[in-house]
Amino acid sequence: MSDFRIASRYAKALFDRAVETSTLDVIKKDIDHLCLMANESREFVLFLQSPLYKKSIKQNALKTLFASANETTQSLYHLMTEKFREAYIPAMGDAFIGMYNKHNQIVKVTVVSAVTLDKNTIGEIENYVKANSNAKTIQMTQEIKPSVIGGLTIEFGGKIYDNTVSNQIRKIKKELQLA
């Protein structure tokens, strides 16, 4: 079974339990904390993946690190460690966030441009994304890359809308090579 499927199953169980007990937002904060740790600490991820540490050591470490977490979240971490699935905990967190965003109609958008965009342009992009998806909320990340020369790239929902000058130049070069 693939890593994603294993992590997704645990995430789905946690998500369903959170909805059932009306603790979705509380558990989302716990998972945000987990994802932050996994993204900022390579040592944390390596610790979870390492076969050198015993199950009890990992369980105690997770209990200490997430002492303020909801009981349901702590129970899931304990269960995953008990079943030797602790290496999938960070991936489970990512899968949970995806389910949470889908449930709450939150769309993550990445915008790449050559310069910082003004508020008017950002508003237009948000309106465009809302019109082309069923999003209620937009979480936008803007990247500045001078190599795009001009224009911008909008990425959301597995789609990429590339209207950069560098992409247009690439298309012209390709057409000239075919001619």
75 and 8 together in one domain: yes
CATH number assigned to the domain comprising residue 72: 1.10.520.20
Exposure pattern of 26-39 as b/e (b: 16+ CB <10 Å)? ebbebbebbeebbe
Last residue of a domain, which of 75, 102, 129? 102
45 and 110 together in one domain: no
Distance CA 24, CA 104 (A): 11
113 and 92 together in one domain: no
Q: In this predicted structure, what is the pLDDT of residue 1?
A: 61
pLDDT tens digit sequence for 154-167:
999 888 888 888 88
28 and 96 together in one domain: yes
pTM exceeding the 0.95 threshold for the entire prediction: no
CA-based Rg of the chain, rounded to a whole angstrom? 21
User: Of 44, 48, 43, which Cα lies nearest the Cα of 3?
Assistant: 48
Distance CA 106, CA 83 (A): 32
Strand partners, 153: 112, 162
pLDDT higher than threshold 80 for residue 146: yes
18 and 98 together in one domain: yes
Last residue of a domain, which of 53, 87, 102? 102
Total number of domains constituting the chain: 2
130 and 96 together in one domain: no
Q: Which two tokens stand for residue 52?
A: 């050198």
Last residue of a domain, which of 46, 70, 102? 102
91 and 137 together in one domain: no
User: Of 15, 174, 42, which Cα lies nearest the Cα of 100?
Assistant: 15
